[in-house]
Homo-oligomer: A and B are copies of this chain.
C-alpha cells in the first residue's frame, strides 16, 4: 500500500519483516506435515523456535511500539487506521505478555503435544493432565496480562477473533443450541433416519485426487498459486501471497473425507489468494480472523460441496471416476449429508457440528474462569455429551482427548468454527439475492461465486474487523437465524420432515 505518512511507512517496513518470517515459518510447518523424514523433527522444532524468537524480538523493538503509541489519535486514512489497529492488536500479545511467559508457553506446548498424543493413544487422561493444568494456568496468566472488560476468557477469544467475547457468544449460542437440539430430535424420529444406509466401496486415492483436481479447477484454485498434497490432518497454509497450499488425506474406503476437505481447504486458500495485492506484506494482508476464514471454507464445503444441486452436476464425474455400480445420485447426496450424532467433532455433520463447539466453548469458558478444574474435564465432557447429543463416550480418547487444540494452548479458538458456520449462512443469504446461486451450482459454474466472494469479502483482507465486514456485506450483525433457517430448510427436505 501507498502512504506518505513517515510513521506508517516505518510500521510497514517493520511489519514486512514480520510477515516474511511468518511465511517462512509456514513453509517449515507445511514441510513438517507433508514431507519431513521422521528423524528431522527435533531439528525442525529448533528452527521454528528460533523463528518465533526472532519474530518476538521484532515485535519488541521499542521504536515499533513507540510509533504505534505516537500515532494514536492522529489524522489517518482508512487504510492507515487499519494498519495501526491491526499492528496494535497483533502486537498486544508481545507488548503485554512478558517474553518469559511467551517462551514458557512455547516450551510447555511442545511437550504437551507429545503427552496429549500418548494420552489419546493410551486413552489415559492422567498422562495429559499435568500439562493441561500448566497450560490452563498460563492461559489464565496471559488473559490477566491482556486487556478485558468482563471476562478473562474474552482476552483469549480476542486473540482469534477481534472483539469476540463471552457475552456475545452466550447470546448467539443459547438459541442456537436450543434450535439445533430440538431439530435433531425431529430428524432422529424421521423414517429416513431410521433406514440405516450402508456405506462401502473402494475409492482409489488416485481417483479421489482426480476428483479433487477437477473441483479445484472449477473453483479457480490454480497450480500456479498453490498445490494439493497429503498430510495426516488436512490444512491450508500461506507460504506467500501467491503460494497458498492445501492438503487432504485419502481414505480408501470413503471418498467423503477427501472430497469435503479439499473443497474446505480450497475455500480457505481462495480467501488468502483473493486479498487485494496492495495489502501484501502489510498488516492488512490475509484473512481478518479465524471466524471469517472458517466462513469461507465452510461455505465451499457445505453450501456448495454438499449441495444436492451441485452434487447433481458432479454425479456423472463420480460415476466415471469410481465405477461404482451401487452409487446413485440419492446415495451420493445422502452420503454427504447424513445426520448422525457422534462423539467426534471432525466427523460431525452440519447439523450436529455446532453442538460440539458449544460443548468445548462452555468448558473453556468455565475452566478459564476457574469454575471447574482440569481434573473435572472428562466427566464434565461426558455429562455435556449426554445432555446435548443423548450419547456418552466410553473413552476419553473419544471425549476430552480427541482434539489437538488444548495441547497447543489454543484456548478461544474453538468458537470461531461455529462463527464460521453462521457467517457462511448469513453471507449466502446475501449472495443469493445477487446471484442465481442454484443455477450456478446446477451447472457447475463456480466462477461468478468466486468473483462475488472476492469482491465482497476476500479483497478487503484484514481492512475491516469481522463485525464491520458482516455489516458491510449483509447489512446486519452476525446472528444465528440464517444458519438455523438454512439447516431447517435443507434437512427438512432431505429427511422429509413435515
Contact = CB atoms under 8 A, between A and B. Distances in A.
Contact of A37 (B35, B44, B242): B242
B224 A35 contact: no
A449 to B, nearest CB: 22
Interface in A38-71: 38-40, 42-44, 46-47, 50-51, 54
Contact of A243 (B43, B50, B222, B241): B43
Interface in A10-45: 17, 20-21, 23-24, 27-28, 31, 35-40, 42-44
A457 to B, nearest CB: 22
A364 interface: no
A488 interface: no
A217 interface: no
A23 B37 contact: no
Greatest chain B CB density within 10 A among A24, A222, A223 is at A24
A245 B43 CA distance: 14
> How many interface residues does chain A have, given as a range?
35 or more
A224 B39 contact: yes
10 contacts: A27-B31, A31-B31, A31-B239, A35-B227, A37-B227, A39-B224, A40-B243, A42-B242, A43-B243, A44-B239
Contacts of A240: 40, 42-44, 47
A226 interface: yes
Given A17-B50, A20-B46, A24-B51, 4 more contacts: A20-B50, A21-B50, A23-B47, A40-B225
A37 B225 contact: yes
Copies of this chain, tallied across the complex: 2
Interface in A230-271: 239-243, 245
A227 B35 CA distance: 8
B39 A28 contact: no
Interface of A: 17, 20-21, 23-24, 27-28, 31, 35-40, 42-44, 46-47, 50-51, 54, 222-227, 239-243, 245, 281
Contacts of A27: 27-28, 31, 47
A47 B240 CA distance: 9
Contacts of A281: 46
Contacts of A23: 43, 47
Interface centre among A47, A223, A241, A243 (most CB of B within 10 A): A243
B31 A47 contact: no
A387 B47 CA distance: 51
Contacts of A39: 224-225, 242-243
A50 B224 CA distance: 24
Contacts of A245: 37
A344 B38 CA distance: 38
B241 A43 contact: yes
A64 to B, nearest CB: 17
A237 to B, nearest CB: 12
Nearest to A241: B43
Nearest to A227: B37
A54 B31 CA distance: 22
Contact of A226 (B21, B37, B46): B37
A326 to B, nearest CB: 32
A13 to B, nearest CB: 12
B20 A224 contact: no
Closest 7 CB pairs of A and B: A43-B240, A40-B243, A39-B242, A40-B240, A20-B50, A38-B224, A39-B224
